[in-house]
Amino acid sequence: MKVKSMLKMVAAVLLITSMAASNALAADGTGTATANVVVPLAITNTIDLNWGTFAPDPTTPGTVEVPAAQAGPFNSTIVSLLAQGSTGTMALTGDNNRNIITTMSANPHIFTGTNPANIMTGNLSVLSPTATDSLGGGTVYIGGVLDVGAGQPADVYSGNYTITVNYN
């Protein structure tokens, strides 16, 4: 019996020694997790894109161009441009000095009159900053070229477009 007791004791000592050895080889490390939450981007329409007021040529199609670059010339192949239009603008708000990407819904855009049978198409363009300014703001400019049919029916035409802005 003494041998069995001795074997049990040796086994217990070996078990305790091996556990102590494995704890001696273990190491702990700590780290820090962080999150940087920024101001969400928002975009608000401030001035609607306006093609102006014009009279189409009765026999020849034409165009009216409103530049997205506000400083550019307003061009028209329409015989009678009665009132110049205006570039559309949208105001951005978000985190300051952050890179952004601006996209627009696909061209061509359809503009319908109050009579749904009256339509015109336009190819829109956008001019946008590549980053928010030091206050987190910015302005997106919208322009484009409107295709006007020969003898286009008199009507008030409108249509929608979507501008999307994301942090880059």
CATH of 42-167, one of 1.10.3470, 2.60.40, 3.40.50, 2.40.50: 2.60.40
pLDDT for 75 equals 79
pTM (2 d.p.): 0.78
Which residues have CB under 8 Å from 147's CB, separation 6+?
A: 61, 63, 108, 120, 121, 122, 123
> Closest Cα partner for 129 from 139, 120, 121?
139
As a whole number of angstroms, the distance between CA 107 and CA 87 comes to: 17
Q: What is the pLDDT of residues 28-60, one digit of tens each?
A: 999 999 999 999 999 999 999 999 999 999 999
Query: What confidence category does residue 167 fall into, taking pLDDT thresholds of 50, 70 and 90?
Result: very high
pLDDT for 147 equals 95
Domain segments of the chain: what residues?
42-167
pLDDT for 31 equals 96
